[in-house]
Structure 1
């Protein structure tokens, strides 16, 4: 039986870099898109020609995820061509989940139809809000009308698995604003909804503005953010969305298969500038700069070397892998199955992390439930505090 793995392909291009974004993404790079697509294909080729597990020959691909940036900035032919190259190079499961991230301003009905016909069966649309005032605050290119139309067009194009991202905790956002966004999302009836609390990362434009206490850039206080989070859970579960991960809700068994690979701390291959891979306890990451990435791929391709554009790697100790597996697994509401953990690592969670577990149990942050270790509702609200305990 083949081992299962997911593939992530990074497209770092955006029409405009959002002020809160700390992802590896860039604006004003349209001129190198064609060359970048060819470099991605070359990296795929270099990987598939390698001996041993790195070629992915022992693996079955259960998911492919085109992320960014904004992959839908590219032409549909470039995206479908890259997907087809993957299919030709690796062992893709017949019913694999194939996701593309999109932003509303880049979507047309013709592009969406071409993507659906070309093999993409899931689309994740970065809506963030249906409130024009809040979209402007976030620095988004699209308005609420384009967000609404993008979702309807994806449905008209034949997508039966649509996910949308929403954001809360935006400067000047009220609880009423957030409830309105949730209600609008529910009316549009996507199969999957992700709700993310806006966090301000160091080095972003928002970081500079919040540190300077700029007018209009102060986040809602922590109590209000927690209330927004709980309101989101209440509204979405009442509407029939299963709350299966801290920030994710799904209908009709449409949980994101690719992201579950990350949450189970299983193996994945990353392709493209800045992409991460995790195979056989080794974490590797590519060069972040798209230009430097393309240069390194070209250099190694000319030499016939299979190293691609790897910038660095680290081999993880087993205790660290176990800690990360618990940390990520607790993100899922069903938690970590104790038998599966023992089968995978040969030890029991309780014996390996006894002190940490005892402390978290006494603080009512985790519980043992029906053969699983999982967060309590209190633990869900303070996940960051819980998770770091397993890495110390």
Structure 2
């Protein structure tokens, strides 16, 4: 079976979430991903003593072979360059300047392989006044306005729960690599691509920016569970007898369907609530009236009634419910596996589906350095004696 990136070799020097998600997507699309780690493992692997930290590593490093390599030694650097000669892509998400300090900057890599795609992810990019600022998901959420626009106007700002900056950047990095490989097919030349977390996050502020410019900068930017642009109503999370349900009405048709499903024809007939503009002008009142009705139903009851009327909605579910979601398991997006290191766990596959092709067989994340000997012997033709000498010198 041929997959989109079958025959493509990726050298993966990435760590934590950002870069590893990009290379996970490449591996799930058929690429041979060789994860190159320091002798003591990348940062996320080393977090595994903390509660639950093993799960993210297992999620993001499936379908990769892993080797250890001490890039701070001359021999380790030379071995990487020999691997670069045979590779299609090298991906890293170190802080800007680290690769140059290792004498593995773009010029050196390009000399080893002119067709190489060199892909770099970072917090703020390789240029600009923020270039050298430490960047993690939390700090980038703060710098991009995500934290300032999350929460309620009368409460302190809060971060978004998911690691949105890391994963948005990882998705963009995957897209940049795919585009660069496509360009190489046309030109025969390699190129370099970079993706910053900050720039990846900015487009997600679209609704907040609409409110900002529409109000001349005067509106409160934290809108709770209401529409971020404050331009739709009802749009909120409403109580039920056993939890909460999210309801969105994008237009007047949805509003009429909602009132019908809730058995409230008087709301549909009320001239105060006829249009989206009318309802947005009376958000507190509309939300209170809707909540009064939703409290009389369970989540499942109300979900069934609203979906039956084509009202956009969804029950607010727990992570336990999501991990065991029958839809995701039926599609193969989630699966239970017996991981050789972490036991019985649920892991995701790639969200990318390619028509007419079966998914790449799932390979759990490897133990630290598990494939080092096989990679060095298979790709660089090193003997067992040579590999043993490298290990004795702490090069691998």
The alignment's TM-score, normalised by the length of structure 2, stands at 0.26
The alignment's TM-score, normalised by the length of structure 1, stands at 0.26
Greater relative contact order (CA < 8 Å, ≥ 6 in sequence): 2
Task: Determine which structure has more spread, i.e. the larger CA radius of gyration.
Answer: 2
